[in-house]
Amino acid sequence: MEFWKDSQEAVTAIKKMWEEIGNDAELRAAAGKVNQLIVFDYTESGPGCAVWVDCRNGGFTVGAGIPEGNPDLTMSLSADDAHRSWSDKLNPVMAITRKKIRVKGSATGLLKLVPKLKKVAVIYRQVLTDLGMADKIMK
């Protein structure tokens, strides 16, 4: 891994980012419109290395690992490419077309959130700073 010392470090940062997204009214409302159980699978970076977001039926729950139940959408990518994506340095649409991100299920709703990535990147940078990982912030 280029950015992370281990898979747990990546999971900690990305899970915390999603928790903070859930605290932002605009982003939480946008995620609610997706209305899916989404798994971000980083198994290329380590076994059990995943973060999930359940934004079905008006809820917003975040967890690490594989959730109970069948996800509506699984995004498989490396933890490094996840870091680039959340840092707004990797366009997820281009990454999907170039097979850096593999999609199982319908990503149509999630891709509607792409215009909000700049705001997510601000939250992600703050999360990295708060977790003592400011050295990972991409310029």
> Does pLDDT of 43 surpass 90?
no
Q: Please give the average per-residue pLDDT across 98-106, as a whole number.
A: 93
Residue 45 — pLDDT band, cuts 50, 70, 90? Answer: low
Two structure tokens written together for 114: 């792409």
> Does pLDDT of 14 surpass 90?
yes
Q: Please give the average per-residue pLDDT across 69-85, as a whole number.
A: 94
pLDDT at 83: 96
